[in-house]
Amino acid sequence: VNHHSDDDCIFCKIIAGKIPSFKIAETDYTYAFLDIQPLSKGHALLIPKHHGKTLLDVPEEYLADLLPLAKKVAKAVTEEEGTGKEFNVLQNNGPLAHQVVQHVHFHIIPKPNKAEGLG
Ligand code: 5GP
Ligand code: ZN
């Protein structure tokens, strides 16, 4: 698949391997990796390999691929030591909604069940 990308986008650079990341999983349409400033241990991001700013810009085939992978990633990161089985899925669209990186992404944020955990 030849994906639409933006040369100036940090997440497109991560997909292309031009910026290093800690990869969790990958499909033809989706890339999953650890957030560089985790809100809790295992905080993951899923991004469509298609560059688009918000959810409204993502073609259906990318969305259809992303959610099953989100389920697998959520299972994997909540099985990490020090995290609970519970988690939030968060997705910000636009600056008023606290979107900082202008390439659509889904956060998976484990809720730690130990006193020493963050968040
Ligand atoms: P937003 O506020 O846009 O929903 O969240 C953007 C997220 O991307 C933040 O949690 C931030 O820590 C993460 N992030 C920004 N730049 C990088 C990067 O270069 N690598 C990784 N792994 N995460 C990043
Ligand atoms: Zn991008």
Report ipTM (2 d.p.).
Answer: 0.99
Is residue 69 situated within a structural domain?
A: yes
110 DSSP β-pair partners: 87
Residue 30: predicted pLDDT: 98
Sign of CA dihedral 55, 56, 57, 62: positive
Give me the number of domains the chain comprises.
1
Ligand 1 atom at shortest distance from the alpha carbon of 100: 3
Is residue 4 situated within a structural domain?
A: no
If one residue of 9, 11, 31, 35 were mutated to test the ligand 1 pocket, choosing by the most ligand atoms within 8 A of its CB, it would be 35
Residue 118: predicted pLDDT: 54
Range of the domain at 69: 10-110
pTM over 0.80: yes
Structure confidence by residue, pLDDT tens digits, 9-52: 999 999 999 999 999 999 999 999 999 999 999 999 999 999 99
Q: Quote the radius of gyration of the chain (alpha carbons, Å).
A: 14
CATH of the domain at 44: 3.30.428.10
pLDDT > 70? residue 58: yes
Is residue 65 situated within a structural domain?
A: yes
Using a 6 Å CB cutoff, which residues line ligand 1? 10, 19, 21, 33-37, 92, 98-101
Q: What is the percent of the chain with per-residue pLDDT over 90, rounded to a whole number? A: 87
